[in-house]
Structure 1
Amino acid sequence: MNAKNATSAIDVATARALLANNPDTLIVDVRTPGEFETAHVAGSINLPLDQVDAHLGRIVNDAGGRLLLMCQSGNRATQACTKLVNAGLSGATVITGGMNAWISAGGPVERGRERWSLERQVRLIAGGIVLLSVVASIWLPPARFVAGFIGAGLTFAALTNTCAMGAMLSRLPYNRGAGCDVNASLARLRNEGRRA
């Protein structure tokens, strides 16, 4: 299957109706544990995007019913869905707009300790590096190339719908939160799959 055609998506209203009418539907939140801790849909499981690759075979074998994939804005969920569908999983769907859209639509969430989303962290770090390199270029002119490098990286990230800086930031202890018990998430996925 072509990766461009590998994912399907539904809006928040459709996702909520599906959850209400189909007990075999499970939300898999692919954000970092820190983001998940801040706010998540009740009953969802946290399986960070960086763990999807590591456990792709188990997810495809154990998943049953319908999986709704969610992240902060939809980009990471789309990446995860593409990987899962290309590995042979049917029934995986992205919630368009992710947690941002869910909250905007009035969807209920469980809240915990407030943390910055990964997208916000990327904007802070990238903007800070550009600002510092431009200021530093007053005394050290070659520093302007650092700003150009960051600009090129952000352009590449937009064109490929990937983000190396976000991937690196997701591994920081701040984004790990209380931690994600991947084995518990996979066990729940397997148990939900057997029920389906």
Structure 2
Amino acid sequence: MFWIVVGVVAAVGILIALLVKVRQARNAREFERTSVDAEVLRQLLEKEPPVLLYDVRLPLDLLAYSEMIPGAKRLSPKEVLANPTLIPADQDVVLYCTCEAQKTSLEIVRKAKGLGFSRLKVLRGGLAGWKSKGYPVEVYRESFRLDTAV
């Protein structure tokens, strides 16, 4: 009986590990489909009409790095998650945040795509990825709330 229990526990552990790997692979594929790198974004910004660009960093991240990609519009993640229609559904849009995994941007993209948005992308590497290529940034001078809840 003991060995049966051990076998069942081991099988459940293996099953959970496989499910985690499948989820990670699905998330990686989704990220690849919904992301652009800094070079592509630069090209999109130079086209006519340029892609719409939104900075959706958390307020504390913006406070720490008070610079933005030129042409970007600042949107609070909390506001966008509450009302995704703040982002136009009928235009090409790129979002960026701070973290390498783009957690905030991807959360917004998932919610918006669930509402029928299809032209959203995320900047791979976020602001740091843009800056690592030596592309320009500008100082963000607008006031904003330090509400950190997403």
With the shorter chain as reference, the TM-score category is 0.5 to 0.7
- How far apart in 2 are the matches of 1:49 and 1:42? 19
| TM-score normalised to structure 1 length | 0.51
Partner of 1:67: 93
SS class of match (2:35)? strand
Residue 75 of structure 1 deviates from its aligned partner by 2.1
How many residues align structurally?
113
Q: Could you tell me the percent identity over the aligned residues?
A: 27
| Structure 2 unmatched ranges of 5 or more | 1-25, 146-150
- SS of the residue aligned with 2:135? coil
More helix by share: 1
- 1:66, CA displacement in angstroms? 0.6
| Residues 1:47 and 2:85 aligned together | no
Does structure 2 conserve the Cα–Cα contact (< 8 Å) formed by 1:27 and 1:69?
yes
CA contact (8 A) 2:89 2:119 kept: no
TM, length-normalised to structure 2: 0.65
Q: 2:86 is matched by which residue type in structure 1?
A: I
Which residue number corresponds to residue 102 of structure 1? 130
Moved over 2 A (4+): 3-7
From 139, 143, 147, the counterpart of 1:111: 139
Larger C-alpha radius of gyration, 1 or 2? 2
Among 28, 37, 40, the residue aligned to 1:11 = 37
- Cα RMSD for the two superposed structures: 2.5
**Residues 33, 178 of structure 1: 8 Å contact kept:** no
Q: Secondary structure at the match of 1:89?
A: coil
